[in-house]
Amino acid sequence: MPQLLHLPGELLARVISHIDQSALKQLRQTCRTLAQFVSRELFRTVHLFPDEESYERVRNISNNTILRSLEWGDPDCTLTEPFKDAILQLKRFPNVQSTVLRFDKNCCVDDDGVEMWRSEWPQPPTYREEVLHVFFSWLTSLDVPTKELGICNLQDLTIKDTDTRAMMAKVLCGLQSLRLNIATEHHEASPEEDLEFPEPHEFFAEMPFAWLKPTMGSLEHLTIYCDNYWGFFPKLDLKGIHFPRLKTLALGNFGFAQDAHVEWIVSHEATLAELYLDDCTILYDKTEMEVRIREDCPSLSKHYRSYEKRWHDLFDTFRTRLPLLRHFRMGTTCWSDGMPFEKEANINIGLMNDRYMVCYDGYGPSPYMTGRGNARDNEKVAPECDEEDRNALRLLLQSIGQSAPESWSFLSFIDTWSIGSRRSKPGLDNFSDSAQ
C-alpha cells in the first residue's frame, strides 16, 4: 500500500481505472488519499432507471457535495475561475516571446435549431470563445508584445465578441510569426456534408481581414493548415493581402484552383526564402458548386470549370520568379494524429497521386476526389505528367542548392520517385461510379 500511494497522481488514477466495481467499493474505504481517486472512478457515471431504488440513489449522490461534483454526465468543458486566474498570472513572466494555444481537434457548433444531426464534443464554441477572450486578455497585458503566436485546432467560427476582436487585432499587429491550424466540424454519418455547413465558408471569407491584414506590416512567417481542403471550397480570397517582410510560407491541404493562388505566392519574391506545401493539391477540374469562381478560368460547360496548370508549371514558376528561395518542400507529413503543427520542415518530399484532384459536387464521401483515367460526361481525366513534374521538381531543387533527404541519394531519390498514394484522410476518396 505505501508504494501505491507514492505513485504520481496521474499514474494512480490510471491504475484505479482498471479495477472492477466491487473492488473499488472496498478500496474507497481504505484511506482518504485513495478515496479521492476511487470516488471519481466509482461515481464517474450515474445510471437512472425507472424505479424507486434508482431514484433514491441519484438523490443521495446529488445531495452529497463531493459526489455530485464527480459525476461526468455533462461532457462540456468549463473554464473555471482558477484556470482563468492561472492564465492571467502568466503576465508575471517578463520575457514571453512565443505562445501556443491548443484546442481539442474535434469541434462542434451550438444547437442552432437546424434539422440536421450534428456532432457533440467536449469543447463547444462558447468554451472556445471564452478561452480566446482570456488568452488575448493575457497577451495584451504583457509589457513586451509577443512575437510568435500559434493556435492549434482553431475552430472555423468567426469571433463575434467585440472586445475579443479588439484585443486580437492588437496582438496580431506586432507579430513576426503566425501559425493557424483550422479545425472544421465533421459529420461522421455523412462526411460529404462537412462542406455544406456554413461555418468554414464564413470563416475563410473573413480570415483575410480578421487574422491576416493586421499582421501585414510585421509578419515574417505564416503557416495555415486546415483539416479539410481549402482555398477553392471553402474559398479564400487573398486579394489586397501582402506581407512585405514574409520569409517563410507554409500551407497545408491547400487546393490550387486558379493562377491567382500562384501569383499571390510569387508576389512575395522580394523576401520569400522558404516555401512548404504539405498535402497540397491542384484542382484540375471542378464544378461551380455554391462558390462563384473567377472569370479567368476556362469554361468546359455550363457547370464545369478546369484549371490547366500542372505541378511542373508551378515548380518552374517558383524556380524562375522566387530568386531568394533557399528551401522548398512539397509532399506529405503524417496526419494520422491530427493536423501537423510546426512540422513543415519534416515534409517528406514526393509526388503523390492526390497531388491532382477534382472537386465535384454530388459525390461522397467528399467532393474532393483523385481523378481517374476514364471520365464521363463533362468530367476530365486525370493529368498524366509524372515525368514532367519529376524533372521540374529536380530542376527547382538543384537551382536553390537543396539536396535530397539523407536517406536517399539525390539522383536515386529524384529518378526513382514512387508516384504513390499517401495516408488516408477523412473525406478523401477515389472516384465512385454513382453520384449522391
For residue 236, tell me if it sits in a domain: yes
Within a domain: residue 28? yes
> What was the pLDDT predicted at 97?
85
Residues 82, 59: Cα–Cα separation, whole Å: 29
Q: Is the same domain home to 44 and 95?
A: no
**What does the alpha-carbon distance between residue 20 and residue 110 come to, in Å, rounded to a whole number?**
36
- Report if residue 123 sits inside a domain: yes
> How many Å apart are CA 153 and CA 339, to the nearest integer?
8
Q: Of 70, 98, 121, which one is at a domain's C-terminal end?
A: 70
Same domain for 344 and 319: yes
Q: Select from 44, 70, 96 the last residue of a domain.
A: 70
Summarize pLDDT for 230-257 with one digit per residue, the tens.
998 889 999 999 999 999 999 999 999 9
Residues 156 and 224 in one domain: yes
Same domain (yes/no): 8, 140 = no
Biggest CA–CA distance in the chain, Å, is 80
- The segment with the largest mean pLDDT, out of 98-102, 277-281, 424-428, is 277-281
Question: Quick check: 360 pLDDT over 50?
Answer: yes
20 in Cβ contact with 38 (< 8 Å): no
Question: Which segment of 11-20, 247-256, 403-412 scores lowest on mean pLDDT?
Answer: 403-412
Q: Is the residue at 75 inside a domain?
A: no
Residue 282 pLDDT exceeds 60 = yes
Domain count, the chain: 2
Whether residue 435 is contained in a domain is answered as no
Distance separating alpha carbons of residues 336 and 279, to the nearest angstrom: 13
CB 88: neighbour CB atoms within 10 A?
Answer: 14
Looking at every residue in the chain, the average pLDDT score rounds to 78
Tell which of 43, 70, 97 closes a domain.
70
Indicate the length of the chain as a whole number.
Answer: 436
**Pair 59, 155 in one domain:** no
The answer to whether position 158 is within a domain reads yes
Q: Which residues contact 105 (CB under 8 A, 6 or more apart)?
A: 153, 183, 227, 338, 339
The grid coordinates listed for 426 are: 477523412
d(CA 250, CA 222): 6
DSSP 299: B
Per-residue pLDDT tens for 31-63?
A: 766 776 667 666 655 443 444 564 466 556 656
Please check whether residue 202 lies inside any domain of the structure.
Answer: yes
Q: Where in the sequence is the domain holding 11, given as residue range(s)?
A: 2-70
Question: Which position has the higher pLDDT, 342 or 120?
Answer: 342
The pLDDT value recorded for residue 408 is 36
Q: What's the pTM?
A: 0.74
Give the Cα separation of 112 and 198 in Å (integer). 12
Q: For residues 252-264, b (16+ Cβ closer than 10 Å) or e, as one string? A: bbbbbbbbebbeb
Residues 139 and 53 in one domain: no
Rounded mean pLDDT of 111-138? 74
CA 205 to chain centre: 17
Q: Would residue 50 count as lying in a domain? A: yes
Same domain, 122 and 190: yes
User: How confident is the model at residue 79, as a pLDDT?
Assistant: 72
* Res 359: pLDDT: 84
Which residues sit opposite 282 in a β-bridge? 256, 356
Q: Which residue has the higher pLDDT, 160 or 60?
A: 160
Alpha-carbon dihedral of residues 109, 114, 116, 120, nearest 10 degrees?
Answer: 20
- Structure confidence at residue 115 (pLDDT): 42
pLDDT value for 216: 98
231 bridge partner residues: 235
203 and 156 Cβ atoms separated by less than 8 Å: yes
> Do 187 and 42 belong together in one domain?
no
pLDDT tens digits for 290-345?
A: 444 444 444 444 455 789 999 999 999 999 999 999 999 999 998 877 888 889 99
**Same-domain status, 134 and 186:** yes
Q: Which of 83-97, 256-270, 418-432 tops mean pLDDT? A: 256-270
Instruction: Judge if 184 and 66 occupy the same domain.
Output: no
One domain for residues 151 and 217: yes
Is the pLDDT score of 208 beyond 50? yes
Band of residue 190 on the pLDDT scale cut at 50, 70, 90: low
* CB contact at 8 A, 62 and 68: yes
All three cell numbers of 35, joined, read 478515496
Q: Quickly state the pLDDT bin for 124 (edges 50, 70, 90).
A: confident
Closest listed residue to residue 302, CA positions, set 284, 285, 287: 287
Q: Are 57 and 97 in a shared domain?
A: no
